Chain A
Amino acid sequence: GNSVTQMEGPVTLSEEAFLTINCTYTATGYPSLFWYVQYPGEGLQLLLKATKADDKGSNKGFEATYRKETTSFHLEKGSVQVSDSAVYFCALSAGGRRALTFGSGTRLQVQP
């Protein structure tokens, strides 16, 4: 079946530090890959996506590249801000099923 594995959190960084959150997946066929972000008390919001190998998704300074050879979709940001503090979820959609399979989420805390 499909599955997503994310690095354990929490990740605590100082403002302006470089961020990497690792995500690897197992899926049948060629999945679409997503990163969602959940701020406290809110639902999940789509952060970025990539639908085929070597695609790079980007939004708000965050980037992730679809690596088929390593089945990975790591999230990166060059300089984090306090406002980036949230829980980040990696997810995939595969096999014609629109329902997403999520990773366990990684909590990011950015300190001033």
Chain B
Amino acid sequence: DSGVTQTPKHLITATGQRVTLRCSPRSGDLSVYWYQQSLDQGLQFLIQYYNGEERAKGNILERFSAQQFPDLHSELNLSSLELGDSALYFCASSVASTDTNSPLHFGNGTRLTVT
């Protein structure tokens, strides 16, 4: 068990809808990362937050947004959903923001299916 909790585990929704994915980082970790895993794109980094502030942005679409709350949990909001957004969305956490020696701890992911 990595200590990172993601909810829900599965989500099925229709095109055009909006969903929110939730992540609770490992106790003591200040940094949260969101990744999208799809069959054709592999693991893509979306966005990183550190102690409530956005720290780095990857291949995140404008239809997607995220935030990290004062209790350090994070939410990823996906709107105007398209079939191509169907994927496994992972949250990861780490203690520090830029210390490359501290590992990332991954949750088990949320599987999103857009129909």
Instruction: With a 10 A CB-CB cut-off, give which of A46, A49, A89, A98 has the most chain B CB atoms.
Output: A98
Instruction: With a 10 A CB-CB cut-off, give which of B96, B100, B101, B108 has the most chain A CB atoms.
Output: B100
**A81 contacts the other chain (CB 8 A):** no
Instruction: With a 10 A CB-CB cut-off, give which of A43, A51, A89 has the most chain B CB atoms.
Output: A43
Pair count A-B, CB < 8 A: 63
* A104 cross-chain contacts in B, Cβ below 8 A: 42
Identify B90's interface contact among A44, A94, A98, A103, CB under 8 A.
A44
Which residues of A39-89 have CB atoms within 8 Å of chain B's CB atoms? 41-46, 49, 51, 89
* B92 cross-chain contacts in A, Cβ below 8 A: 43-44
- A-B residue pairs, 6 tightest by C-beta: A43-B106, A102-B43, A32-B100, A46-B103, A44-B106, A104-B42
Interface residues on A, range: 20 to 34
Check A98 against B48 for contact (C-beta < 8 Å): yes
Check B108 against A98 for contact (C-beta < 8 Å): no
Check B108 against A42 for contact (C-beta < 8 Å): yes
* B58 cross-chain contacts in A, Cβ below 8 A: 99
Check B56 against A45 for contact (C-beta < 8 Å): no
B109's nearest neighbour on chain A, judged by CB, is A43
